[in-house]
Amino acid sequence: MSPIDEMPAASKILTQQISKKLQEALALHNAGLLDQAKAIYQDILKIDCNHYDSIQLLAAVATNKKEWTEALDLYSRALAINSKNPIVFCNQGLVLEELKRLEESLESYGKAIELKPDYAEAYLNRGNVLQELLRFDEALQSFDRAIYIKHDFAEAHFNRGNVLTHQKKLDEALLSYERAIELKSDYKEAYINRGNVLKDLKLFVMSLASYDKALQLGSTYVEAYSNRGTVLKELNRLNEAISSYAKAIELDPASASTYSNLGNLLFEAKRFDEASFFYEKANQLNPELPYLYGNLLHTNMYMCDWQGLNAHLENLMKQINENNKSSLCFPILALTDSLSLQRKTAEIFMNDKHALNSSNSSKLKIKNNNNKKIKLGYFSADFREHPVSYLIAELFELHNKDFFELIAFYSGPSDDSELHKRISLAFDKFIDIRFISDEIAANLSRDLEIDIAIDLTGITHDARLGIFSRRAAPLQISYIGYLGTMGTQYYDYLVADKTIIPLESQQHYSEKIVYLPSYQVNDSKREIGDPDFTRSELNLPENGFVFCCFNNNYKILPHTFDGWMRILIAVPDSVLFLYAENKWAEENLIREAEKRNVPQTRLVFAERIARKDYLARYKLADLFLDTLPYNAGTTASDALWAGLPVLTCTGESFASRVAASLLNSIELPELITTTQEHYEATAIELATNPVKLKHIKDKLERNRLTTALFDTPQFTKHIEEAYTQMYERYQSDLAPDHIYIEA
């Protein structure tokens, strides 16, 4: 006889009514008619207020409708009746997770697992919460346990890949995503994340194929189109990239990140006005999007568009001081002279994007005494037609190959220039790392037993900072590519001199300083063409005084321009010869000059020409006027090499003291000023005192080949002595410390 048969007649009737109602409600529930099902569950509870199945099914309805508080109350009621159901604990954990009560959620999953040790789904959900709590190792263990219990658990493999991606273990993450796809061939999200990892591994063609597969499966994820656009940009398929971004925007017109990515592409294409438009659109949608605000300001600076600049700068500085990810590091060098702010920006960026990855540090050899030579690894994206290579090419040729072995790691774009060929021939090995991941490149460096890794790119375009975060070598140095601190402890040394980093400024740098007698290496083989053009052919006055500045346009701040205009007004018939990188900069500078009562005829704009002719063109000018806070570097040494005096004004930052370093190295300290008033007065005096200007030009000509600035062989000996000292410290188990090389 069944239990129902033993019940009193009235109880039988109630039980049968409840059973019938429950079956009806379940049918509605399974058909997705949640409100109708909910009404019947509630009717059942009017008959039996502790009806367990109705309570937990009502909780499921509330969960489906995202009524989290109600769902939690119902699960609690169900567990008060029966605390032995692991499914209810697991569902309660999901609701607590949605309510961001993560520790309580973990406790619920833990109870579910305690009741059912082979509960793979509970391990999966527990791993998700641990991942959200940034407890990645524990999350990985939880996903691994889910996979051990349920080998074909595609979602667990997928989430495992997500954790490994966070941990920068990209090769392992890739395997997890591929296993998820193997188990579930239409797993769109896995294809997208696989594409993301392949993108980060520099496997762009494979990444594109993965995104395309996700889209073929019907993915409407904005991320797939947006990241696909980024990959197409890397493959230099710019029109297709723009179309992909446009599709992402069509799917989600409120996607600030897509507008920002499109801005990045257009910026690189030098379509600055369009880039600014899309950055501004992104900023309107999400002003807190990481690094967007700085990109917008930097783009406008390329166009010399200074509208609202002071307010923008004030806002940007405030955001950085509040530890917000408001700007990449490079734009800040040209926007502020504050050493503390520059360091803070670098620390924020490096901690966010390139924190120390210690997973491979154990692979470093403690000592390399077996090496007969010190192995130098020079890493750069700029072994091509680029200002860094214009300066450094001869150093590679002059290194003492009896004591040093030179290995180049090149990460820049394809280049078949003569300069690229010249540099590649100077190395013992020249390795192309453009299409290998940071992890593989770091492993390669360690396998080659590089003793000292020198980063010539720093936090600039095409940087490969992930290589250095993985410790490519026992000693890591920043030199010449980025004029500031890297803001992280895995760069041991920064090369400078006492002009650029006075002793009292060391506190603002995370690295130990290598003090050379002269900071900037130069190529003494730079060939100056024979100018076959005259002043009049370049729209310059035959007899008037020609000031010039061929620095990049983003270095020109309104404060600097104000001074230049006052100088022009004070020197009749003078002109300012400028390099305008784009038409918007030229138009805006003319407009700004006219606002300061200087007619546009006083500004003359130079075009990009062959390098030999560019150097020769300096001979048509009378005085180079520097910018602040980002000084001339390569352009200053170019001018001095061509015989043109450079007038600078120093600040406190690295970038604002480079030109002063060059002038001290060529023994022309009289061209170094420390205030705007002194800068302007000196420019006016030199322009109106031909005798004094000739004295300086004659001195420059005498010093050009007899002082430190262009003595590349001597510079080579100095930097080799620095390499030797830091290497010997390392061999003696001494921590990095400031190094002072005497002339």
Give the sheet arrangement for strand 623-625, strand by strand: 603-606, 575-579, 546-549, 623-625, 646-649, 672-673
Higher-confidence position of 66 and 500: 500
Q: Where do we find the tokens 């004070």?
A: 570
**What is the 3-state composition of the chain as percent helix, strand, coil, each rounded to the nearest 5?**
60, 10, 35
Confidence of residue 4 (pLDDT cuts 50, 70, 90): very low
**Residue-wise DSSP of 255-285:** -HHHHHHHHHHHHHTT-HHHHHHHHHHHHHH
Residues 6+ apart with CB under 8 A from 303: 272, 273, 276, 553, 582, 584, 585, 588
Confidence of residue 682 (pLDDT cuts 50, 70, 90): very high
Residues 6+ apart with CB under 8 A from 613: 529, 531, 533
Predicted structure pTM score: 0.87
Q: Are 571 and 682 in contact (CB under 8 A)?
A: no
Mean pLDDT of 609-614: 92
Rg (CA), the chain: 33
Domain 536-710 falls under CATH 3.40.50.2000: yes
| pLDDT cut 90: percent of the chain above it | 79
Question: 719: closest CA among 383, 399, 285, 476?
Answer: 399
Question: 548: closest CA among 503, 598, 615?
Answer: 615
Mean pLDDT of 485-490: 97
pLDDT of residue 3: 47
Q: Which amino acid appears at position 100 of this protein?
A: K
Higher-confidence position of 436 and 72: 436
Going by their DSSP bridges, the two strands 452-455 and 404-410 should be labelled as unpaired
Which residues sit opposite 695 in a β-bridge? none
Across 42-56, 272-286, 343-357, least confident range: 42-56
Residues 6+ apart with CB under 8 A from 659: 626, 631, 632, 633, 636, 646, 648, 650, 672
pLDDT of residue 365: 55
User: Residue 371: is its pLDDT beyond 90?
Assistant: no
* Ramachandran sector of residue 227 (left: φ over 0; alpha: ψ -120 to 50; beta: rest): alpha
User: Residue 369: is its pLDDT beyond 80?
Assistant: no
Q: Are 663 and 637 in contact (CB under 8 A)?
A: no
User: Residue 68: is its pLDDT beyond 90?
Assistant: no
User: Residue 367: is its pLDDT beyond 60?
Assistant: no
Confidence of residue 484 (pLDDT cuts 50, 70, 90): very high
pLDDT of residue 31: 73
- Tell me the torsion sign for CA atoms 462, 466, 472, 478: positive
For residue 47, give the 3-state DSSP assignment: helix
pLDDT tens digits, one per residue of 452-474: 999 999 999 889 999 999 999 99
- Domain-wise residue ranges, the chain: 364-515, 536-710
pLDDT of residue 2: 47
C-alpha separations of 55 from 25, 42, 70, 86, 104 in Å? 12, 9, 11, 15, 21
pLDDT tens digits, one per residue of 90-127: 888 888 888 999 999 999 999 999 999 999 999 999 99
Mean pLDDT of 526-554: 92
User: Residue 447: is its pLDDT beyond 80?
Assistant: yes
Q: Cis check for the bond before 629: say yes or no (omega within 30 of 0).
A: yes
Confidence of residue 401 (pLDDT cuts 50, 70, 90): very high
User: Residue 366: is its pLDDT beyond 70?
Assistant: no
Q: Are 523 and 398 in contact (CB under 8 A)?
A: no
pLDDT tens digits, one per residue of 17-34: 667 767 766 777 777 776
Range picked from 1-5, 35-39, 357-361 for highest mean pLDDT = 35-39
Summary mean pLDDT of the chain: 92
User: Residue 363: is its pLDDT beyond 90?
Assistant: no
Across 103-107, 553-557, 591-595, 676-680, least confident range: 103-107
Q: Are 89 and 112 in contact (CB under 8 A)?
A: yes
pLDDT of residue 11: 60
As a CATH number, domain 364-515 is 3.40.50.11380
Confidence of residue 362 (pLDDT cuts 50, 70, 90): very low
- In angstroms, the CA 403 to CA 29 distance is 79
Strand spans (E) along 479-602: 493-496, 512-515, 546-549, 575-579
Across 67-76, 444-453, 672-681, least confident range: 67-76
pLDDT tens digits, one per residue of 508-537: 999 999 999 999 999 998 899 887 788 999
User: Residue 381: is its pLDDT beyond 70?
Assistant: yes
